[in-house]
Structure 1
Amino acid sequence: MPRLHRLILPGMPHHVVHRGNNRAAIFFDDTDRHRFRSLLRSAFASRQVGLHAYVLMDNHVHLLATPAERTSLAKAMHSLAQRYCQYFNLRHGRTGSLWEGRFKSFLVDKDRYLLAVCRYIELNPVRAGLAGRAEEYLWSSVHANLGNIRDPLITPHDALGLLGTSPEARRARYADWLDRGITARELAAIRRYSAQERALGSPRFQAMVERSLGRPAATRNRGRPAKEKVGGHR
């Protein structure tokens, strides 16, 4: 059975996950992570993909990205995966595939759900027991989104502007947003949409995706479309 194309809409954010083959490590040290960041920046910039959040874990990466064109994301990820695999194999004296098949992605409703996905991504090291707080983990976008550094990888999403009218207010609200943590319902929904590669958002957003792409947008649970509402902000 032919593999279905991903749900991709230009100008909309997509949550991307790419894992190491057999869940093996894709980063052995900080040198590897620095090289991956460099290749990521080059691949996304050359294909007009904006990156809003990321985290580099030991055996996988999470990215929140907006492609300018329908094919931009796939081309950028293909280039990144290929070039990093070549580097990794040469440096560590190995051969063969580094990645577990193709990357997974799902669309994200930017109006209400994007901040929840940002939080999910940046709290990944906390859930994995690698840090007590998101800010303690070096290899993520949290430092840029909190305004502590200027990360050349990051293109801030307009949704962050909903948190406050000034940079200081937005930083404080985003820090509070992170501290509140992710709920079990949010976690389950994001993981389910990632596994099924659908469109996380309101019923109206999902209907728009289905009209645009002619494909189901909601996940299915026991044969019925799931209707999830994830998070929000005060």
Structure 2
Amino acid sequence: MPRPLRVSKGGVVYYVLNRANARMTIFEKESDYQAFENLIVEVHERRPIRIIDYWIMPNHWHMVLWPEQDDDLSAFSGCLTMTHTKRWHANHGITGSGHLYQGHSKSFPIQTDRHYYTVCRYVVHNPVRAGLVDRAEKWPWSSVT
């Protein structure tokens, strides 16, 4: 039975994330991060959406996205996740071996300015909380750098 379509309204800012299955590391080396950043650009060209912020962590990624049209969010995040999964499996020689991500990306509408700033602070400080850097600006795999 197919999964019901997710409703994503245009004109609303969303916090979006996806985590690797079993907390496994999916971004291990610089080339993994660079390939995902390139994929963001590639998918953006096919499925345009306003990208406010993104952070790529070793086992997950975060984005703040602002779709213009209804279902732009689903089209972008679905294409990003599916394409990344296929390429990751092919690159690791394990095509068809199972899920890379825990599931579909999760998205949460941001409804107030205060919530927006809270989400952005949370996303920006993620590598600091994880002990990967001492200052958010030092994390190279984000839209800030």
How many residues align? The count is: 142
**Range with bigger deviation, 67-76 or 39-48:** 39-48
Which residue number in structure 1 is paired with residue 65 of structure 2? 65
SS of corresponding position for 1:28: coil
Q: Deviations over 1:160-215 (max 9, x none)?
A: xxxxxxxxxxxxxxxxxxxxxxxxxxxxxxxxxxxxxxxxxxxxxxxxxxxxxxxx
Q: Conserved in 1, the CA contact under 8 Å of 2:8 and 2:74?
A: no
Residue 20 in structure 1 maps to residue 20 in structure 2: yes
Paired amino acid for 1:113: H
Which residue number in structure 2 is paired with residue 45 of structure 1? 45
Residue 29 in structure 1 maps to residue 29 in structure 2: yes
Q: How does 1:21-170 map to 2 (within 5 A)?
A: 21-94=21-94, 95-109=97-111, 111-143=113-145
Determine the C-alpha separation between the residues in 1 that align with 2:45 and 2:62: 18
Q: Deviations over 1:7-48 (max 9, x none)?
A: 522011100010111221121211111111111122123222
Stretches of structure 1 that go unaligned for 5 or more consecutive residues are 144-234
Q: What's the CA shift for 1:110?
A: 5.0
Percent of aligned positions that are identical: 35
Determine the C-alpha separation between the residues in 2 that align with 1:104 and 1:77: 9
Determine the C-alpha separation between the residues in 2 that align with 1:77 and 1:121: 17
Determine the C-alpha separation between the residues in 2 that align with 1:48 and 1:91: 26
Q: Which has the higher contact order (CA 8 A, sep 6+)?
A: 2
Which residue number in structure 2 is paired with residue 192 of structure 1? none
TM-score by length of 2: 0.88
Which residue number in structure 2 is paired with residue 217 of structure 1? none
**Range with bigger deviation, 59-68 or 81-90:** 81-90
Determine the C-alpha separation between the residues in 2 that align with 1:22 and 1:82: 18
Stretches of structure 2 that go unaligned for 5 or more consecutive residues are none
Determine the C-alpha separation between the residues in 2 that align with 1:110 and 1:34: 33
Determine the C-alpha separation between the residues in 2 that align with 1:41 and 1:82: 15
Q: What's the CA shift for 1:141?
A: 2.1
Q: Conserved in 2, the CA contact under 8 Å of 1:7 and 1:106?
A: no
Q: Conserved in 2, the CA contact under 8 Å of 1:12 and 1:110?
A: no
SS of corresponding position for 1:14: strand
Q: What's the CA shift for 1:130?
A: 0.6
- Cα separation, partners in 2 of 1:116 and 1:7, compared to 1, 3 Å: farther
Q: Conserved in 2, the CA contact under 8 Å of 1:6 and 1:105?
A: no
Q: Deviations over 1:107-153 (max 9, x none)?
A: 0125332222111111000011111110111111223xxxxxxxxxx
Structure with larger Rg: 1
